Amino acid sequence: MYRMQSAVVTPGGSVSEALAMQPSDPAARGKASDARNADGLPPLAVRQQLERILASRAFARSPRISRFLSFVVEQTLAGQEDKLKEYLLGVEVFNRTDSFDPRIDSIVRVEARRLRYKLDRYYETEGRDDTVHIQFRKGCYIPTFAIKRPGEHLSDDVFQFPHLSTVEDPHAFALYAKGRSHLGRWTADGIAESISCFSQALVEDPGCASAHAGLASAWTVAGLLGLMPANDVMAKAGKSAAEAIALKPDCAEATAVEGIVRALNDFEWNDAEDRLRRSLPMNPCGTEMRLWYGLNAMIAGRFQDAIREMRKAQQADPTSLTAHLATGFAYQLARAYDEALQQYRLAHEISPASYAPHLAMGLLFTEQQMFEQAHHSLSQAAQVSPRNPNVMAALVYSHFAAGRPDAAHQVLADLTELAARQYVPAIALCLAYTCSGDVEPAIQKLEEAYEERSPWLGLIRSMPAFSRIRDDARYPALTALIGLA
């Protein structure tokens, strides 16, 4: 049926070879003409390019994607491209039943994104010298066929950045970027959105080490904020970090998360220190590993080390709310109150809608016995984040310190009632009971915080808010348990 002036279109073959294939039968010639695009590609050239793609390493391991590509190409060559709708593809390609509803089942959209990504990678690697290109516009299931002019491929160096774990799939990258943005909000909704985005990115690209590492950090922050019991989320953080390292052994963020999990969840301080130190040169310009290293230094009482690393994190990412808050907290533990306040105010200016800078300033002002300013800051935190257990515990602390026992007992009663209806970190209740002078429930909650592996256990010995419980004879036994006696 076809007369070929050139037997095949080989990789790197000329445009003239691709155009040399002409149908010998007049009827076939007319049908082939309908299937051509502006570059005049005949169906045989397209089919040979399709076979080459399907035989490539990436597509040979993906039968479902290969079936998808074959179906839409053949339908388009047959002049049936108008029928390439989501419902038809779901039924014919992905074996969905007649009741398939694309509004509920996103299989076609998800696989179309994977197909576009695999085609992009094919033409950047194995098919970089191919003459014929099969392409898809975003949101469209109809392929286009084109002849590539020489030199129209991206260099493999485009993703070669020292120290960074790049995300090459554009759809995975969009989800990864959103996850990073949500992670920095310091809210329950933000962390939930962050975890969701990183998880979706891994659906798009299961081999994305950066998304695994981001997920590890998100679970760790969830534990720090007391959104869930820390021993639950830290186990998930460790698992995600291990998966990232399996994909990229020098992944700095994942190595640092493994370190902080070893510290906070396992109390293996020496191993944690080693992992955290190893993470720093893996990405000298990174922020996450310096933040985790700085937190570990704070727990160890090395406040100047913590300040140094936190300030480097600030320089690496001046827009990071977390970096500014962490730097302020390191200064606060070192009793450098003016410097701490400067950092907290900067955090507020960068993220004026966040409750966290108000909470930090409220605790700082309380330590300085500036009770009017403390009450103002904590009231603003409570207004931005109502019924936040950490804010409520801070209010109890501030009211008692200011000599307002009635107000303190009212907030403590509200916090206790909240704990009966939802998860409240044991460490928050421990702080509230400690400040009230009610030692027995404070010790009980401290023991529960140990069982939960609260990330704040190691900082109790440095925070003035816990001074009363440190005077109890039972407190040294706890510090011995966690290895910080």
Average pLDDT, the chain: 86
Strand 144-147 and strand 2-4: the pairing is unpaired
Find the helix or strand (DSSP H, E) in which 4 lies: strand 2-4
Write down the H helix ranges in 265-388: 269-282, 288-299, 303-316, 321-333, 337-350, 356-367, 371-384
Strand partners of residue 22: 3
- Quick: pLDDT tens for 221-232: 999 999 989 999
Predicted confidence at residue 58, as pLDDT, reads 77
- Quick: pLDDT tens for 365-394: 999 999 999 999 999 999 999 999 999 999
Look at residue 1 and tell me whether its pLDDT is greater than 70. Answer: no
Q: Calculate mean pLDDT across residues 269-287.
A: 92
Instruction: Supply the pTM of this predicted model.
Output: 0.69
Strand partners of residue 2: 23
Predicted confidence at residue 462, as pLDDT, reads 92
The answer to whether 49 touches 9, Cβ cutoff 8 Å, is yes
Q: 257: which 2 tokens?
A: 């998360």
Look at residue 327 and tell me whether its pLDDT is greater than 90. Answer: yes
The answer to whether 294 touches 306, Cβ cutoff 8 Å, is yes
Look at residue 355 and tell me whether its pLDDT is greater than 50. Answer: yes
Look at residue 8 and tell me whether its pLDDT is greater than 80. Answer: no
Residue partners of 170: CB distance under 8 A and separation at least 6: 117
**Which of residues 174 and 140 earns the better pLDDT score?**
174
Q: How far apart are the first and last CA of the chain?
A: 86
Question: Is the alpha carbon torsion for 136, 140, 142, 145 positive or negative?
Answer: negative
Look at residue 25 and tell me whether its pLDDT is greater than 60. Answer: no
CA distances from 424 to 17, 264, 430 (A): 71, 19, 11
Q: 292: which 2 tokens?
A: 């985790």
**CA-closest candidate to residue 378, choices 392, 365, 362:** 362
- Quick: pLDDT tens for 61-85: 888 899 999 999 999 998 888 888 8
Q: 260: which 2 tokens?
A: 């902080």
Predicted confidence at residue 13, as pLDDT, reads 39
The answer to whether 310 touches 326, Cβ cutoff 8 Å, is yes
Predicted confidence at residue 146, as pLDDT, reads 83
Least confident of 55-69, 304-318, 391-405: 55-69
Q: Calculate mean pLDDT across residues 348-357.
A: 95
Q: Say whether 147 sits in a helix, a strand or coil.
A: strand
Q: How confident is the model at residue 149 (pLDDT cuts 50, 70, 90)?
A: low
CA distances from 232 to 63, 139, 380, 427 (A): 37, 39, 31, 16
The answer to whether 445 touches 226, Cβ cutoff 8 Å, is no
Find the helix or strand (DSSP H, E) in which 134 lies: strand 132-135
| Separation CA 205–CA 181 (nearest Å) | 19
Q: Calculate mean pLDDT across residues 112-119.
A: 86
| Separation CA 72–CA 134 (nearest Å) | 11
**At how many degrees (to 10) do helices 269-282 and 252-264 cross?**
160
Q: How confident is the model at residue 179 (pLDDT cuts 50, 70, 90)?
A: very high
Strand partners of residue 407: none
